[in-house]
Chains A and B, each alone.
Chain A
Amino acid sequence: MNPALQGLFTIILGVGGCIGYFYFSNQFLDKVLFPAKGPNAGRNINRANMVRPWLFLFPALALLGLYLAYPVFETLRLSVSERVSGGGSKFVGFANYSQMFGEPKFWEAMGNNMLWLIFVPAMSTAFGLLAAQLTDRIKWGNIAKSLIFMPMAISFVGAAVIFKLVYDTRPIDQEQIGILNAIYLWFGGDAPQTWLTIPLWNNFFLMVVLIWIQTGFAMVILSAALRGIPEDTIEAAIIDGANPFQIFFKIKIPQIVGTIVVVWTTITIVVLKVFDIVFAMTNGQWETQVLANYMFDKLFRANDWGVGSASAMIIMLLVTPILVWNVYNVRKEMK
């Protein structure tokens, strides 16, 4: 079948199926199982109302359980087992982990990931805050914002192509078409550099791509937070003779610390999962490996599910503190 037709069919089936499920299961509950009439009408209504939330929740819970919760445990199991020939697997304890810890590529990925974790959230938040503050009170601020926000819509792969052009290198006797090399030579650089192959620095050139994408996100959230600051605190500071910098750092920032933390942690999670950028630009060569790409390598190139799952568990482990913190906050909020 033509995939487009199949897609259309799936939409109709999916949407129709959802509506049908919700409609008929409710009808069944109200009319057949616990009809709101007869001698037990009152009890039946109460019972129906106890069951109904689970009717509403069932499809979502089933999908969440199957596609997100179950894989966590299955990956955990796979990470401590090994495939045996002929199907099935056997328990090998921490053998996969110790094998992984013995690989220099893994430690390279860990080290790089730590660099990413420090710089990308920090720089995105800083630029985002700067952009939010600067555009806040100028007339064409909204246009500026939407232009800085625009990279959010661009795929990591698209961004990778965009920045590959920025970093492009031509031999010294030809005209440079990568703007970075053009600027470098214009400022007196001696020879065009192949930016993505310089160890350590190339990590930063990759990070720039993600910072470029995430700054818009940080800016939007922080800009809303800045607008939420009570005007009278700022007016009071102005009357007391504070200069604009003091107002920004001593009045505004302390009042939006909570939002800054939220932005920071959200970007941190994006960083931990970063895959496409490295995959498309260097594929982990020249010492730019990161965990997610390392994992993809292990899974689909080396076909080693044990070590692949072990590295996935490492990513999970790094996300866990944020997960716990978020859940804790939501529970506090709901009480």
Chain B
Amino acid sequence: MDNIAGTKSGLTWAVHISVVLLVVLWVFPTVGLLVSSFRTADQISTSGWWKSMLPSEQSETLRTAAPSTQVLENGIYVISGNLFERPGDFEISVWGIKSNDIAAYQPGDTADMGDGVSITVQVNGDYRMVSTGEFSGRRGERVFATAKTPPEFTLQNYYNVLFDPANREGMTKAFFNTLTVTIPATVIPILIAAFAAYALAWMEFPGRALLVAAVVGLLVVPLQLALIPLLKFHNDIGIGKGYLGTWMAHTGFGLPLAIYLLRNYMVGLPRDIIENARVDGATEFQIFVKIILPLSFPALASFAIFQFLWTWNDLLVALVFLIDSTGETTVMTKQIVELLGTRGGNWEILATSAFVSIAVPLCVFFAMQRYLVRGLLAGSVK
């Protein structure tokens, strides 16, 4: 199509540029969080994350070495060394010796500190402080330097959030709780739905059309309606708040989509195969297990991904059916909301925690995108 009349190369460029813009717009927020999770609290609060790739200008208070390191050279006392703890790619642009005038000198200049003391600071932080008399005191002199600091990233945040046993706000427990909620809540509805979908797709019985319509209707019933009646129900039968109720709730809420997706897929399977099997004397159970289930794998996979993403990312169901006052069963989404409330300004913790919870669904997403797309296409009511 590209070389058919009517497509101009100018337009093609416009298309490319617009797509780039769109993608950047969509990816930027997430990248911001990702980058922030690798920066220290200081870095996050002193400069925007988009500047973290470039060396940043920071003003720092540094100290020369202590007077005990002085040496006597030709009758003058000298202290020399590098201002930075770990000399590297630092580039001092200006420096000073008084806190109210931190940009008094250029690199290479010599500053007179009084009492016959003077200091010379080079661009890489090397200094040489000389004095006619002996240096005294225990600490070195303060030097204020504005330097370009090379970009620096750290894994410390992830260590703190995941592995630090002293961190009560850590995500490890919540991570495993989320996993505990998610896996049964993904696996169980698949089987139940598959059997129902087969009956609705390939078995003749009165009221079938009505049931399909009912499933489509239930597809859009808001979860909100189910909260109180089911909480009451769970309390009445004695399971209260806990994993069991949560698994059942997720199973119930996931079923309409599961049945709908699978039925749509199964209806499209070739009639011949199923009828041949019937003629050959296979029972419905055998047909289902040996023919329908293996053939429906793509639909099963797409529902499994949906249900996984939905239960992993869920907050409301966990809040209502799972998390009791002890907080032992907290999930990651709840943990993050809590952090947003109590540690709203601590971006290094927030960003890292959020990314820990986002990482798993993102991996699933990129690994199984094909099935997700297929499921979406089959699942939107036509």
**Which A residues have a C-beta under 8 Å from some C-beta of B?**
3-4, 6-7, 10-11, 14-15, 18-19, 22-23, 26, 30, 49-50, 52-54, 56-57, 59-61, 63-64, 66-72, 74-75, 78, 127, 130-131, 134-135, 137-138, 141, 144, 146-158, 160-166, 168, 170, 174-179, 182, 212, 215-217, 220-221, 224, 234-235, 238, 241-244, 247, 258, 262-263, 265-266, 269, 272-273, 275-276, 279-281, 292, 295-296, 299-300, 305, 308-309, 312-313, 315-316, 319, 322-323, 326-327, 329-331, 333-334
Contacts and interface: CB of A to CB of B under 8 A. Distances in A.
B212 A334 contact: yes
Contact of B283 (A26, A50, A61, A134): A26
Interface string B106-130: 0000000000000000000000000
B279 interface: no
Contacts of A235: 4
8 contacts: A7-B179, A15-B187, A71-B225, A127-B22, A177-B49, A238-B5, A279-B337, A334-B213
A36 to B, nearest CB: 10
Given A157-B315, A319-B220, A141 B365 contact: no
Contacts of A316: 221-222, 225
A241 B11 CA distance: 16
Contacts of B66: none
Contacts of B196: 56-57, 59-61
A23 to B, nearest CB: 7
A135 B358 contact: no
Given A7-B184, A150-B30, A161-B340, A138 B376 contact: no
Contact of B340 (A54, A164, A327): A164
Contacts of A15: 187-188, 191
Nearest to B252: A67
Nearest to B191: A18
Nearest to B355: A158
Nearest to B173: A3
B177 A3 contact: yes
B166 interface: no
Given A179-B32, A220-B377, A312-B227, A63 B192 contact: yes
A212 B26 contact: yes
Interface size of B as a range: 35 or more
Nearest to B315: A276
Contact of B362 (A7, A150, A160, A330): A150
Contacts of B12: 138
Given A75-B228, A275-B315, 17 more contacts: A6-B180, A14-B188, A49-B284, A57-B196, A59-B196, A130-B18, A134-B22, A137-B1, A157-B354, A158-B354, A161-B354, A238-B6, A275-B224, A316-B221, A326-B381, A327-B216, A334-B209
A66 B16 CA distance: 51
Nearest to A176: B48
Nearest to B36: A165
B187 A14 contact: yes
B249 interface: yes
Nearest to B356: A158
B265 interface: no
Contacts of B285: 22-23, 26
B302 interface: no
Interface in B11-60: 11-12, 15-16, 18-19, 22-23, 26-30, 32-33, 36, 44-50
Given A161-B340, A242-B6, A330-B381, A154 B220 contact: no
Nearest to A283: B341
Contacts of A224: 377
B7 interface: yes
B371 interface: no
A326 B219 contact: yes
B294 interface: no
B333 A276 contact: yes
B277 interface: no
B26 A68 contact: no
Contacts of A220: 373, 376-377
A67 B205 contact: no
B303 to A, nearest CB: 13
B369 interface: yes
Contact of B365 (A56, A152, A174, A322): A152
Nearest to B211: A57
B135 interface: no
Contact of A153 (B187, B218, B361): B361
A216 B27 CA distance: 12
A14 B11 CA distance: 57
Given A177-B47, A327-B213, A158 B22 contact: no
A155 B312 contact: yes
Contacts of A78: 228-229
A322 B177 CA distance: 35
B22 A148 contact: yes
Interface in B150-202: 176-177, 179-181, 183-184, 187-188, 191-193, 195-196, 198-200
A138 B198 CA distance: 40
B92 interface: no
B336 A280 contact: yes
B276 interface: no
A196 B243 CA distance: 35
Contact of A275 (B216, B232, B316, B354): B316
A155 B6 contact: no
A262 B220 CA distance: 13
A322 B219 CA distance: 11
